[in-house]
Amino acid sequence: MIDLIATLQPLVVGAVLIWSARVKLVSTHAAAAANRSALARLVGQDRALPAYRLLGGMEVTLGGLLLLPPVLRAEALAATVLAVAFLGYLAYARRAAPTSSCGCLSARPTPVSGRSLARAGLLAVAGGLALLATEGWSTALAGRPPAGVGVLLVELAAVVALSPELDHVWLLPLRRLRARLTHPLRGGSGVPLLATVQQLQLSDAYRRVAPLLRSDVREHWDDGDWRFVGHAARYQGRLVTAVFAVPLTDREPDAVRVAVVDNATGHTLLSLAGTPPAAGPRLSVVPA
């Protein structure tokens, strides 16, 4: 069995290398992928794309040699060296530039994760096994088709499972399906404070008073159909509270009212009542 597995490894490694080279050589997003990768840090921003392309060239050449007969031990050795070097590069990237993208099998921004490292390790092991191959993979596959296809499928599944770039093809749809079936996100009911704040900020009352405000929302409470929102403010040198009354359920920014109340005396210094739009002054200042 080990003979069969070893014999099939040039096919596996070759296919992964060619797949990997595809994004580096023909993808229209190669430049972005190169810039996002740790190569930009390793060799500099200007040299990242040429280095990325060069790597792709090496991958496609080596991949082609592995796939095509004759079987040479040197090819397997070169593939193993490349895989080990790549493993070292990924370990470096993860340590030195953790926010960089792998740039491995897809132009999608994909951070270097434990799975990427495991995949590079798998390829190194596969390259090592290929050193033991004594015949061409096509001969072996023709000799024992069911076992050969089984080995290839298992390895393909392992590579796919270890490729975060491919999660959107199988893992995310599965998770989406699970979410659709189980409805895990409920949140709450009622009107979130942010909805009130958004409505408040759409109002003219807010736009007039906003320059006076000193603090974020300091307090808020509901009373009947209204939600009240208080900010600390400063008005003509006094410490005041700007309190907004916002309709709780209806979305009516025009109905938002505000009063500016002196903290020391409790007197209302100013109030703005939402007024009907159209003609006339849009807001009335109510001398309180």
Residue list 15-74, contact with other proteins (CB under 8 A): 31-32, 35-36, 40, 45, 48
Q: Which stretch binds other proteins (CB under 8 A): 50-58, 63-71, 140-148, 168-176?
A: 168-176
Q: Determine the Cα–Cα distance for residues 176 and 76; give it in Å rounded to an integer.
A: 40
Q: Which stretch binds other proteins (CB under 8 A): 63-71, 118-126, 150-158, 170-178?
A: 170-178
For other proteins, the closer CB: 129 or 246: 246
Number of residues that bind other proteins (CB under 8 A): 92
Residue 167: strand pairing partners: none
Q: Locate all alpha helices (DSSP H) within the chain, ordered by sequence.
A: 2-25, 30-36, 39-43, 45-67, 73-96, 114-130, 137-143, 145-161, 167-182, 193-202, 204-209
- CB of residue 146 to other proteins, shortest distance in Å: 36
Tokens of 139: 């001969």
Among 59, 55, 31, which residue's Cα sits nearest to residue 45?
A: 31
Q: Is 279 in the site for other proteins (CB under 8 A)?
A: no
For other proteins, the closer CB: 19 or 235: 235
Q: Which stretch binds other proteins (CB under 8 A): 72-80, 130-138, 152-160, 245-253?
A: 245-253
Residues with Cβ within 8 Å of residue 38, at least 6 apart in sequence: 89, 92, 93, 96, 97, 100, 112
Tokens of 249: 């359920």
- CB of residue 102 to other proteins, shortest distance in Å: 9
Tokens of 140: 């072996």
Pattern 84-103, binding to other proteins, x per CB under 8 A?
----------x---xxx---
- CB of residue 121 to other proteins, shortest distance in Å: 19
- CB of residue 176 to other proteins, shortest distance in Å: 5
Q: Is 267 in the site for other proteins (CB under 8 A)?
A: yes
Amino acid letter, residue 46:
D
- CB of residue 35 to other proteins, shortest distance in Å: 4
- CB of residue 28 to other proteins, shortest distance in Å: 11
From 74, 223, 250, 276, residue interacting with other proteins (rule: CB under 8 A): 223
Q: Locate all alpha helices (DSSP H) within 68-192, ordered by sequence.
A: 73-96, 114-130, 137-143, 145-161, 167-182
